[in-house]
A and B are shown apart, each in its own frame.
Chain A
């Protein structure tokens, strides 16, 4: 059971727009901690896609965007391409009575139809 909740899968046709949600709680996203997103292509290490809720590292296409509101965050991908088929993970920081730690969502598999 991941601390951050993501849908197991989403899909879309080439050229379409898809969104992936990431739901947390008052001890992580709701506490004001930033949300970051990673793309993991099959058989490879995760790659930073979005940091600080909505910032893109150099080299990441502007088709990828992130937002955060309350205890949730979203990753949007516009102009879907076949190469976007991958697993996507959100990440934040959690601070509770049991301790503090970086936490991930369970991951969402994006299928390009």
Chain B
């Protein structure tokens, strides 16, 4: 059973950089999965931030791309998020999740891109 656990500071100052790490257990980060970050502002919906493959390839939400960096550390089986120039609007629960890009059904396989395992989430507040 794959498990993900987010860690990092719960309070970041405005204009600073938010840094979080997601530790993966019960599976290898070098598997054929992408690894993603999703956030949820208090009382609001989910927003995809970006994803990384174990090779280091990344995809980012165009609306956040200029401020986001996602990296992977295969030796520690973990991946990380950095979000720069944060404001109060970046206050949210941040989740890490595993992306399943391919699924098979009825004898055929299809491109999926869904989140099948999630961390418990960590609240990051941007405030001075």
Contact = CB atoms under 8 A, between A and B. Distances in A.
B105 A55 contact: yes
A48 interface: yes
B11 interface: no
Contacts of A52: 103, 105, 110, 112, 114
* B interface secondary structure, majority: strand
Given A99-B62, A100-B59, A45 B121 contact: yes
Interface residues of A, number: 27
A49 B99 CA distance: 14
Given A51-B116, A52-B110, A107 B46 contact: yes
Contact of A104 (B48, B51, B113): B48
A91 B38 CA distance: 12
Contact of B110 (A34, A38, A44, A107): A34
A34 B112 contact: yes
Interface residues of B, number: 26
B62 A101 contact: yes
A107 B47 CA distance: 11
A102 interface: yes
Contacts of B118: 45-47
A95 to B, nearest CB: 11
A62 B56 CA distance: 38
B14 interface: no
Interface in B98-117: 99-100, 103, 105, 110-116
Contacts of B95: 45-46
26 contacts: A33-B113, A34-B111, A36-B112, A36-B114, A36-B115, A38-B46, A45-B95, A45-B120, A46-B46, A46-B95, A48-B114, A51-B112, A51-B116, A52-B103, A52-B105, A52-B114, A55-B105, A91-B46, A99-B62, A101-B59, A101-B61, A101-B62, A102-B36, A102-B99, A104-B47, A107-B46
A93 B113 contact: yes
